[in-house]
Amino acid sequence: MISGNREVMFEGFEDERIRVAGVELRVRHGGEGPPVLLIHGHPRTGSTWHRVAPSLVERGYSVVCPDMRGYGRSGTAALLPDHSQQSKRAVAGDLAELMRRLGHDTFTVAGHDRGCYVALRLALDHPWAVTRLAVMDGVPISEALARCDAKFARDWYHWFFFAVPDKPERAIMADPDAWYGGDPDVMGQENYQEFRAAIHDPETVRAMLEDYRAGLGVDRAHEEADRAAGRVVQCPTLFLWSARDDMEDLYGDPLAIWRSWAREVQGLAVESGHHMAEENPEAVVDALDALHRR
């Protein structure tokens, strides 16, 4: 919402810290009605949804915006040799417990970027809880890796650089602002400041890199086990991709990939760059509202 000349984030929302599975999560939640869990991506925090969440509340939803473990102001878990402390299965378990703690036994989940992998894992591991799934600007990790070619390796080199021990942390922390960028005029000043605090925290940066390290190993293995067992998402699924990002350049028809992962899937290109919740929140709200009504 706009107050004077200043954009105020999450006005009327509760802002709490809730311990789940040995990790304390920072979570903002508000509204009444059907629950919607919104999961951010890398290197954002739950504040990336600050233009989407209030609009969903106005449309009659109860909205939950956590910082994932290892991100933003949420706690980090002890490092494990296989990086599974930051696996999508572990993060999904956190969020399933969080939603139960908030009184939501069933809910819609939407995830963007790295958050879309967590949303997928929630739908596969907790099918009794997830009634609708929205995945935004990503295909399953195993699918991206199976299609990896010279273009992907060049444009998405960070997936592989982040898997190298220690050096990515040193490179990023030398100048986090230069590494990650970010425009406060596009993001909103408060959202930008929250994002900037996160990328300047060495412990948070390491945990965010562990997300990628888990992705190349344990997360990929979990997805491949799902495919071998024939597991797919059972609930109505929506795939949103940014028209000004590279989903179509990389995959042609990215929706075709998701059709093999969900029983019922529809898709829509959003007129936006990668961070669609910040750049075109109206389209995201309309799409999530329509998903709920399916």
d(CA 137, CA 26): 24
Mean pLDDT across 274-288: 97
Nearest CA to 36 out of 240, 269, 292 is that of 292
Asked if residue 4 has pLDDT above 90, the reply is no
**Helix (H/G/I), strand (E/B), else coil: 52:** coil
**Euclidean distance between the first and the last CA atom of the chain, given in angstroms as a whole number:** 28
We find that the CATH architecture of domain 2-292 is: 3-Layer(aba) Sandwich (3.40)
d(CA 205, CA 186): 23
Question: What string of DSSP letters covers 209-264?
Answer: HHHHHHIIIIIHHHHHHHHHHT--EEEEEEEEEETTSSHHHHHSSHHHHHHTTEEE
Q: In percent, how much of the chain has pLDDT > 70? A: 98
d(CA 291, CA 119): 15
Q: In percent, how much of the chain has pLDDT > 90? A: 96
Which one of the listed residues 67, 94, 113, 211 is annotated catalytic? 113
Which one of the listed residues 245, 274, 286, 289 is annotated catalytic? 274
d(CA 62, CA 120): 21
The reported pLDDT for the residue numbered 21 is 83
Q: Burial-class residue 190 by CB neighbours within 10 Å (0-12, 13-18, 19+).
A: middle
Question: Does residue 113 have an active-site annotation?
Answer: yes
Q: Per-residue pLDDT tens for 124-172?
A: 999 999 999 999 999 999 999 999 999 999 999 999 999 999 999 999 9
Q: Per-residue pLDDT tens for 224-244?
A: 999 999 999 999 999 999 999
Question: Does residue 245 have an active-site annotation?
Answer: no
DSSP 177: H
Q: Where are the alpha helices (DSSP H) in the chain?
A: 53-58, 88-101, 114-125, 141-146, 150-155, 158-161, 167-174, 176-180, 184-187, 189-199, 202-214, 220-229, 247-251, 254-259, 276-279, 281-292
The reported pLDDT for the residue numbered 184 is 95
In the beta sheet, which residues pair with residue 2? Answer: 7
d(CA 237, CA 262): 7
Mean pLDDT across 273-292: 97
**For the chain, what is the mean pLDDT?**
95
